[in-house]
């Protein structure tokens, strides 16, 4: 909404001002951000949520949460969810979009969240078995209207067992940043394939290596050692083919040059 005000001062001069405001059905909303791209079975699951007003300012208050498994439904193709493969690697919708119509299964956790003056609240869940989960946050705005936000997260067990995620394309990175010597973990694959994938590693425009991923795990956990040639960042790409359909995904990971630091000092021009 844009509000404009116009008036005249005592001398007849026209004075104008304007201010824009957001308007919507609800006065608040949530931003839900899991601390990691996915979790391992024995880990405590930490999820941060930000309670915000419609004008993007912090909204102190309380909310409730409930965590569900997802119903065991077949994965839908990209075509069925509206993202056709056109012979090139396009944008892949996140799991929240791919699985938005999948019903909730069993409730596995619930509780309350307190959001401080900065609007941020943290949820800590006990370790969960591998699989896909949906956390649902609910709260009420100052007029009593209920607000709801959902987020899907994934738990993996090990590199030997398939991760039960019935999605068209899964590419999850455990962390966005690694250092040399770390082991980068990914959950990759498609619920519509047999589990045979070609994996490529790139450092910018430079091809590092190819790896054939074999097995009967359509969606699986893989581990990639972070080596010196990956410094500056690297990209993981994977694809698999079943019949005449191509399934693919990619992710870019930061490997910063932390030993190189730039210090900038400014001195006044006039002393």
Instruction: Identify the structural domains of the chain with CATH numbers, from first to last.
Output: 26-161 (2.60.40.1940), 169-271 (2.60.40.1930)
- Backbone φ and ψ for 226, nearest 5 degrees, come out as -90, 115
Tell me, what's the pLDDT at 29? 93
pLDDT for 106-149, tens place per residue?
999 999 999 999 999 999 999 999 999 999 999 998 888 999 99
Tokens 């790896």 correspond to 211
**Could you give the CA distance from residue 79 to residue 90 in angstroms, rounded to a whole number?**
13
> Do 164 and 189 touch, CB atoms closer than 8 A?
no
- Note the pLDDT of residue 184: 97
140-174 pLDDT, tens per residue? 988 889 999 999 999 999 999 999 999 999 999 99
Can you give the pLDDT at residue 85? Answer: 61
Q: 38-73: per-residue pLDDT in tens?
A: 999 999 999 999 999 998 999 999 999 999 999 999
> Is 230:151 a contact under the CB 8 Å cutoff?
no
pLDDT-derived band at 192 (thresholds 50, 70, 90) equals very high
Instruction: Pick the more confident residue, 185 or 90.
Output: 185
Question: In whole angstroms, how far apart are CA 11 and each of 4, 17, 88, 173, 219?
Answer: 21, 18, 65, 65, 74
Q: Band of the pLDDT at 260, cuts 50, 70, 90? A: low
Kindly indicate the confidence band of residue 79, based on its pLDDT and cuts at 50, 70 and 90: confident
Q: What is the pLDDT, as a whole number, of residue 243?
A: 84
**CA dist 193 to 34, 71, 214, Å?**
27, 19, 12
In whole angstroms, what is the distance from residue 41 CA to residue 26 CA?
Answer: 36
- Give pLDDT tens digits for 2-47: 788 888 877 778 888 888 777 777 889 999 999 999 999 999 999 9
């Amino acid at each position: 909404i844009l509000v404009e005000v116009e008036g005249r001062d005592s001398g007849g001069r026209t004075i104008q001002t304007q201010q824009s405001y957001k308007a919507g059905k609800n006065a608040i909303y949530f931003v839900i951000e899991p601390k990691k791209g996915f979790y391992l079975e024995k880990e405590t699951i930490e999820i941060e949520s930000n309670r915000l007003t419609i004008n993007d300012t912090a909204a102190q208050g309380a909310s409730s949460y409930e965590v569900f498994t997802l119903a065991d439904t077949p994965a839908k193709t990209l075509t069925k969810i509206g993202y056709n493969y056109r012979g090139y690697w396009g944008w892949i919708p996140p799991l929240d979009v791919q699985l938005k119509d999948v019903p909730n299964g069993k409730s596995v956790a619930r509780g309350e969240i307190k959001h401080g003056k900065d609007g941020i609240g943290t949820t800590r869940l006990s370790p969960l078995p591998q699989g896909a989960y949906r956390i649902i946050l609910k709260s009420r705005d100052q007029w009593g209207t209920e607000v709801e936000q959902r987020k899907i997260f994934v738990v993996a067990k090990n590199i030997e067992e398939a991760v039960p995620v019935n999605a068209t394309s899964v590419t999850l990175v455990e962390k966005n940043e690694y250092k040399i010597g770390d082991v980068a973990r990914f959950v990759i694959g498609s619920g519509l394939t047999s589990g045979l994938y070609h994996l490529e590693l790139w450092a910018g425009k430079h091809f590092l290596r190819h790896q054939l991923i074999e097995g009967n795990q359509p969606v699986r956990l893989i581990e990639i050692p972070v080596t010196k040639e990956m410094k500056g960042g690297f990209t993981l790409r994977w694809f698999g083919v079943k019949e005449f359909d191509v399934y693919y995904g990619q992710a870019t990971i930061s490997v910063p040059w932390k030993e190189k630091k730039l210090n900038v000092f400014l001195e006044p021009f006039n002393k």
